[in-house]
Amino acid sequence: MNKDKLVLASGFAFDYGNMVGEGKITAADIEAIQGKIEAAQEAIRTMRKDGVIRGHLSKDGEPERVLFSQLPYVAEGNLNSPASIKRLLDFGEALKESTDAVISFGIGGSYLGNRVLYDVQCGAYWNSMSKEERGGYPKLYFSGNNLDPRSTEELLAEILRNARKAQAHGGEDYRVKLVVISKSGSTLDTMATFMILYTALCQAEGISVSVTAVTDPNEEKPTLLKKLATEQGWDTFSVPDGVGGRFSIFSEVGLITAACIGFDIEAFLAGARAMDEACQTDSVEDNPALMNAVLKYIAAETYGRDIEVFMPYADNLKSTAEWYIQLLAESLGKRLDRNGDTVFYGRTPIVAVGTTDMHAQTQQHQDGKHNKVVQFLEVGQWESDPMIPDAFPSAPKLSDISGLPISAALQAALESNAQALVGDDRMNAVFHLPKLNAFHLGELLYLLALSIAYEGELADVDAFDQPGVEGYKRILGPLMQQKKAQQ
The answer on 172 and 319 residing in a single domain is: no
Same-domain check for residues 453 and 336? yes
Q: Are residues 287 and 417 in the same domain?
A: yes
Residues counted in the chain = 487
155 and 46 in one domain? no
Domain count within the chain: 2
Q: Which residues are catalytic?
A: 330, 359, 473
Q: Is 284 found in the same domain as 411?
A: yes
Classify the phi-psi angles of 11: left when phi > 0, otherwise alpha if psi is within -120 to 50, otherwise beta. Answer: left
Residue 20: predicted pLDDT: 96
Q: Which residues, other chains included, contact 439 with Cβ-Cβ below 8 Å and sequence gap of 6+?
A: 10, 264, 267, 268, 270, 271, 274
For residues 149 and 50, membership in a common domain is answered with: no
Q: What local confidence, expressed as pLDDT, does residue 467 receive?
A: 87
Which pLDDT does position 404 carry in this prediction?
94
Do 51 and 79 lie in a common domain? no
Model-level pTM? 0.96
The domain of 194 spans 68-263
Give the Cα separation of 269 and 72 in Å (integer). 5
Asked if residue 277 and residue 256 are part of one domain, the reply reads: no
At residue 3, the pLDDT reads 73
Which residues have a Cβ under 8 Å from the Cβ of 233 and sit 6 or more positions away?
Answer: none
pLDDT of residue 479: 82
Of 243, 263, 283, which closes a domain? 263
pLDDT in tens, the chain (487 residues): 447 999 999 999 999 999 999 889 999 999 999 999 999 999 999 999 999 999 999 888 889 999 999 999 999 999 999 999 999 999 999 999 999 999 999 999 999 999 999 999 999 999 999 999 999 999 999 999 999 999 999 999 999 999 999 988 877 899 999 999 999 888 999 999 999 999 999 999 999 999 999 999 988 889 999 999 999 999 999 999 999 999 999 999 999 999 999 999 999 999 999 999 999 999 999 999 999 999 999 999 999 999 999 999 999 999 999 999 999 999 999 999 999 999 999 999 999 999 999 999 999 999 999 999 999 999 999 999 999 999 999 999 999 999 999 999 999 999 999 999 999 999 999 999 999 999 999 999 999 999 999 999 999 999 999 888 878 878 888 888 888 888 8
CATH number at residue 97: 3.40.50.10490
Residues 380 and 252 in one domain: no
Q: Are residues 12 and 130 in the same domain?
A: no
Give the angle 484-110-229 at the CA atoms, nearest 5°. Answer: 70
Task: Give me the pLDDT at residue 2, please.
Answer: 44
Q: How many CA atoms lie within 13 A of 447 on its CB side?
A: 27
